[in-house]
Amino acid sequence: MGFLFVFIIASYVLLNIIFQPAIIEHENEHVETNIRRITEVFQNEMKHLNQICADWSSWDASYDFMVSRNQKYIDENIEDSTFINAKLNLIHFVNMDHQTVFSRAYDYVQKKNIDIDEFLRDTVNMNHFLMPRMQGESALVERYMSGVIATHRGMMIVSSRLILTSQDQGPTHGVLIMGRFIEPMLDGIKKQIDINFDIITDHDRIVEEQELRIRPYVVKKDNDKQFSVYQSMLDIRGDIAFVVHFVVPRTYYAESMRLLKYAHMSFVAFALVILLGVSVVLEFLYFRPLLRLKESVEYARENREFTTSVVIRSRDEIGSLAQSFNVLCQVIAQNNADLERLAQTDVLTGVANRRFLENFLCVEIQRSQRRNLVFSVLFFDIDYFKLLNDKYGHQCGDFVLQKFAQLLQKNSRKEDLVARYGGEEFVIVLPDANKDEAVQQAERLRQLISDTAIAWGDQKITITSSIGCASYPQNGDTAERVVSSADIALYAAKDHGRNRVIVA
């Protein structure tokens, strides 16, 4: 009986002190993954609005409008379709005397003009958080601001930028403010990340506000079946703007605990069998599988490695628990892979982003130095892209960027890296290619681009590209210098009439 008692206690410790904490830890990681996904999708919305505001504020027509107050600019560019296509609710121009030059608010869902009280004033206080920060009479400390603000109509993401020429030159004559309400975006965001959540804007309803001022999110256990997660979202001034609330079902936890309960009962039953002399059978059927499962759980917990799985072929509760553990590991590994892919990929075009490009160039520099090799860089810029955006709209512009990236990717070598550098600029890195080979590839791609018609509705759009070419080590011994040389050559191509290749 003493052996039976010891065996029962040991099985209880194994299941409830070792496995249960590991299950809870996996559950917490699932909560943190959802929090990261929600944060990233709001950040992507803010980046998209910043890009639209940047395009408009660096447009020569906007710069001329702030000087001439030309009504034609308003009539031709700030139409209902502008708000609908870009999903905008606010376009607001302010001069450097803090006077409102033009302001329009529009509900792109109900397709009607609206009033936003916070932007109805004729003047804007010079210390307003959306105005650029000044030091002295002329020095700019910040050229743009963006974030979340509260209006009487609800929470809005806003982007504020100084209006300069397309060459990023001044002097500036004012500030462009663009805004988009958060509420109409929520259904699309929920479908995109497959998480059902709601936002709380009434601070009287935020009972966790004091805790959220200390840490970015709070997890509350409603019951054994679900968690409630409260995640704070800060406004442009760093205060809590609203709280994202979502519920996490504890399905895996409940199933795991049920399996743990049955497994514990099985251990007790088989302990009696051990007393009758079947210790060898018990050793092979339970102790060894449990030990493998325990080692797998501890290995995953200590090393954050979720690509391995534990093999237990039994069809009892322990086998089901192992399968559940393996499924959870697969889900976490897939989520980690998706996050890694998203961190390296440009969301719009699907090619590598600038961060991945910079890492790739560092590795390529080291490889070329060790083996005394060369490589080349091609820097692309779509000619007159802003005019295309103005004529057909930003949705068409995004579609052209996607087709342009696909053309580059399809017609490059497997070892080449195609990346979006920013806006309408793309870079191709050609490992082991000298300058002559790079120029041949650039000319081939340039001709292919100009010969390709892009179908947009019933329109056939043709584009051209200016290309700058530079090589390592001829044009620089670091990644920054090679890219800079290609960039300078690109601008030379644009200055010489566009739709051409210039070699650094």
The share of the chain scoring above pLDDT 90, in percent, equals 47
> Which of 1-5, 302-306, 379-383 reaches the highest mean pLDDT?
379-383
Cβ neighbours, 10 Å, residue 71: 10
Residues 153-164 have pLDDT tens digits of 888 999 999 999
Q: Specify the pairing of strand 465-472 against strand 501-503.
A: parallel
Residue 84: pLDDT band by 50, 70, 90 thresholds?
very high
Encoded tokens for 100: 């409102």
- Residue that wins the pLDDT comparison between 319 and 151: 151
pLDDT at 106 over 90: yes
pLDDT score recorded for residue 79: 94
Encoded tokens for 156: 């809005």
Residue 91: pLDDT band by 50, 70, 90 thresholds?
very high
pLDDT at 8 over 80: no
pLDDT at 318 over 60: yes
Ranges of each domain in the chain: 58-186, 354-503
**From 3.40.50.2000, 3.30.450.20, 1.20.1250.20, 3.40.190.10, which CATH number describes the 58-186 domain?**
3.30.450.20
**Cβ-contact 468, 396 below 8 angstroms:** no
pLDDT at 336 over 80: no
Coil, strand, or helix at residue 59?
A: coil
Contacts made by residues 440-444, CB under 8 angstroms, sequence distance 24+: 441/378, 441/412, 442/378, 442/467, 442/469, 442/501, 443/501, 444/411
Q: Bridge partners of 503?
A: 469
pLDDT at 140 over 50: no
Q: CATH topology for 354-503?
A: Alpha-Beta Plaits (3.30.70)
Average of per-residue pLDDT across 411-422: 95
The whole-angstrom separation of Cα 93 and Cα 389 is 20
- Residue that wins the pLDDT comparison between 241 and 293: 241
Please list, residue by residue across 20-59, b when 16 or more beta carbons sit within 10 angstroms of its beta carbon and e when fewer do. Answer: eebbeebbebbbebbbebbeebbeebbebbbbbbbbbbbb
Sheet with 197-200: strands ordered across:
197-200, 240-249, 226-234, 217-223
The whole-angstrom separation of Cα 222 and Cα 430 is 55
Task: Cite the beta strand spans of 308-416 per DSSP E.
Answer: 375-382
Average of per-residue pLDDT across 112-131: 71
pLDDT at 386 over 50: yes
| DSSP 8-state class, residue 132 | P
pLDDT score recorded for residue 268: 65
pLDDT at 356 over 80: yes
The whole-angstrom separation of Cα 99 and Cα 453 is 45
pLDDT score recorded for residue 29: 83
Average of per-residue pLDDT across 293-321: 69
pLDDT score recorded for residue 466: 97
pLDDT at 503 over 90: yes
Cβ neighbours, 10 Å, residue 235: 18
- Residue that wins the pLDDT comparison between 123 and 488: 488
Residues 169, 170, 173, 179, CA torsion sign: positive
Average of per-residue pLDDT across 339-343: 63
Cβ neighbours, 10 Å, residue 333: 16
Residue at token pair 């955006």: 389
**Cβ-contact 243, 253 below 8 angstroms:** no
The share of the chain scoring above pLDDT 70, in percent, equals 76
pLDDT at 275 over 60: yes
Which amino acid is residue 319, in one-letter code? G
**Cβ-contact 345, 351 below 8 angstroms:** yes
Residues 359-377 have pLDDT tens digits of 999 999 999 999 999 999 9
pLDDT at 406 over 90: yes
pLDDT at 170 over 50: yes
pLDDT at 276 over 70: no
pLDDT score recorded for residue 136: 38
- Residue that wins the pLDDT comparison between 485 and 99: 485
Residue 286: pLDDT band by 50, 70, 90 thresholds?
low
Residues 29-82 have pLDDT tens digits of 888 888 888 889 889 999 999 999 999 999 999 999 999 999 999 999 999 999
φ, ψ of residue 260 to 5 degrees: the values are: -65, -40
pLDDT at 341 over 70: no
The burial of 245, by beta-carbon neighbours within 10 Å (0-12 exposed, 13-18 middle, 19 or more buried), is given as: middle
Encoded tokens for 467: 């290309």
pLDDT at 342 over 70: no
pLDDT score recorded for residue 139: 40
Residue 180: pLDDT band by 50, 70, 90 thresholds?
very high
**Cβ-contact 465, 455 below 8 angstroms:** no
Q: Which of 207, 202, 153 is nearest to 180 (CA)?
A: 153
Average of per-residue pLDDT across 262-266: 68
pLDDT score recorded for residue 467: 97
**Cβ-contact 482, 476 below 8 angstroms:** yes
The whole-angstrom separation of Cα 347 and Cα 341 is 10
Note the residue count of the chain.
504
DSSP symbols for 241-299: EEEEEEEEE-HHHHHHHHHHHHHHHHHHHHHHHHHTT-HHHHIIIIIHHHHHHHHHHHH
Q: In the predicted model, what is the mean pLDDT of the chain? A: 83
- Residue that wins the pLDDT comparison between 140 and 460: 460
Average of per-residue pLDDT across 307-313: 68
Average of per-residue pLDDT across 392-401: 95
Residue 135: pLDDT band by 50, 70, 90 thresholds?
very low
Average of per-residue pLDDT across 337-355: 81
Coil, strand, or helix at residue 412?
A: coil
pLDDT score recorded for residue 280: 64
Average of per-residue pLDDT across 192-205: 80
- Residue that wins the pLDDT comparison between 330 and 56: 56
**Cβ-contact 386, 166 below 8 angstroms:** yes
Residue 488: pLDDT band by 50, 70, 90 thresholds?
very high
Residue 407: pLDDT band by 50, 70, 90 thresholds?
very high
pLDDT score recorded for residue 411: 96
